[in-house]
Amino acid sequence: MTTKVEDKHAGNGNLVGKGQPYLGEKYQANGKPVANGRGEISVKQEANGTCGVPRKSLNMYSWQEIQKHNQKADQWLVINRKVYDVTGWANKHPGGSRVLNHYAGEDATDVFRAMHLDLDIVKLYLKPLLIGELAPEEPSQERNKSSQLVEDFRELRRTLEAMNMFKANPMFFFLHFVQVLILETLAWLIVWHFGSGWPVTIFISCLLTISQCQSSYLQHDLGHLSIFTKSKWNHLMQKLMMSHCKGLSTSWWNHRHFQHHVKTNIHPKDPDIDMGALFLLGELQPVKFGKMKIKYIDYEKQHLYFYMVGLPLLMPVYFNLESMKVMCLQRYWEDIAWVSSFYIRHFITFGPFYGIFGTILLIYLVKFLESPWVTYVTQMSHIPMRMSKEENRDWLSAQVLTTCNVEQSIFNDWFTGHLNFQIEHHLFPTMPRHNYHKVAPLVRSLCAKHGLQYVNKPMLEAFGDIVRALKKSAALWMDAYYET
């Protein structure tokens, strides 16, 4: 069915994957956008949903038709009632092709708004992808979603934008960068002055471990475009912090991490809950393995070998091997150059004291020490929470059900890089982390209004919940495996 509709091309560039606000349109009772009689619009006007434009004929679609286009070779999605065919664009998407496929056939309005930043850029990419809009009688989101909850969440975001909660404090991030610089410099000065004996080596390894963890948090901020107003500066500084300071591929990390954000704890879309055959997570995977009589290792004891394998080897083995594999296979030449500079810098600064082999050992000793810190911080908010197959929930429910917070304190904020506010971070990925504590009461209030449990716990309890969740999953596997 076709009709004359006003073709509003707005946008922000990368669809889903880098970090930019969405275009909140207003609609009349008949479902069509409110027109203001003007033939031209600005990006800001579109973002406010106050204007219409001259038009071409666009097709009208029902949700039933849109939901059929959810395959890799046929991907449609909806943003602000507009229907976009992103099939041909997916492989060019800066945030990776998979994040688009994860939302194929669905309403992507809120995730689009959450993950993107620059409307002027996204506008250029959305325009040629527009193929139609929802029919006037169709709701703005799928019928299984609460329209009141969706609207309340969007109103909360508008409130936070009016409060300047998405504006970064440059001094906050500058001081965190200086912290990393001081730690790196101090480690070298100590070796230069006192030599490379074992006591000195252990001490500087601790300093470098702190530097590595804090670099992780800074690159994470930069990857979500939450520091600079210009995306290019975020991207450049992320390469500095991630690839030069940590020796890991930025592209590998972003493509992986964005999938985790858009489909948190969803099998098989979230790569962070795919531990292969090493750990069985949640309820579905253990039962599946158990019924299929799969026992690659003794899953009954997975909560125990988490301490021996998961904690110490995530960074030095898994992350490093995955990063190198993806860089080489995908030919990320720029990342390869940046990562090479990480090793070159270490050979220049520490090579004269430890030699090449000794310097490599120092690098991986630091990664070994860093690994438990990063593992606890990144896993405590998700492994104990709900894991499921695709349920196509609204953005607020999807994030709150799969994420939990850890209590605030000065130490907790520093130790976790403010990822103790994981709920707020997942709802608003482009928000600077120093504002999470200001936003948390409003998010908690909205959750209470709609009957969503807002989980906030002490840090040590959160650490323990990882192991308790692994033990629970192991019990499910045992029940299914030994079932006659």
pLDDT digits (tens, 9 = 90+) for 248-288: 999 999 999 999 999 999 999 999 999 878 999 999 999 99
The number of C-alpha atoms within 13 Å of 153 and in the hemisphere containing its C-beta is 25
The number of C-alpha atoms within 13 Å of 127 and in the hemisphere containing its C-beta is 11
Question: What's the rounded Cα separation, in Å, for the pair 14 and 100?
Answer: 10
Cα torsion 295, 298, 301, 306 to 10°: value is -90
Question: Which pLDDT score is estimated for 277?
Answer: 84
CATH code at 59-143: 3.10.120.10
Average pLDDT, the chain: 89
Question: Which pLDDT score is estimated for 56?
Answer: 58
Mean pLDDT of 151-167: 97
- Bridge-based pairing of strands 456-457 and 405-406 is parallel
Contacts of 471 (CB under 8 A, 6+ apart): 302, 303
Query: How many residues are given for the chain?
Result: 484
Burial class (CB in 10 A: 0-12, 13-18, 19+), 10: buried
pLDDT digits (tens, 9 = 90+) for 121-154: 887 888 899 999 999 999 999 999 999 999 999 9
Question: What's the rounded Cα separation, in Å, for the pair 117 and 46?
Answer: 14
Question: Which pLDDT score is estimated for 205?
Answer: 98
Contacts of 381 (CB under 8 A, 6+ apart): 403, 404, 405, 406, 419, 422, 462
Res. 457: pLDDT tops 60: yes
Q: Say how far residue 92 (Cα) sits from the centre of its chain.
A: 19
Burial class (CB in 10 A: 0-12, 13-18, 19+), 106: buried
pLDDT digits (tens, 9 = 90+) for 234-249: 999 999 999 999 999 9
Mean pLDDT of 454-466: 97
Question: Which pLDDT score is estimated for 125?
Answer: 86
The alpha carbon dihedral of 368, 314, 379, 112 has a sign of positive
pLDDT digits (tens, 9 = 90+) for 47-97: 344 444 445 578 999 999 999 999 999 999 999 999 999 999 998 988 888
What are the extents of the domains in the chain? Answer: 59-143, 170-268+301-379
Res. 36: pLDDT tops 80: no
Res. 229: pLDDT tops 70: yes
- Token pair 């909850």 is at which residue? 149
Question: Which pLDDT score is estimated for 9?
Answer: 36
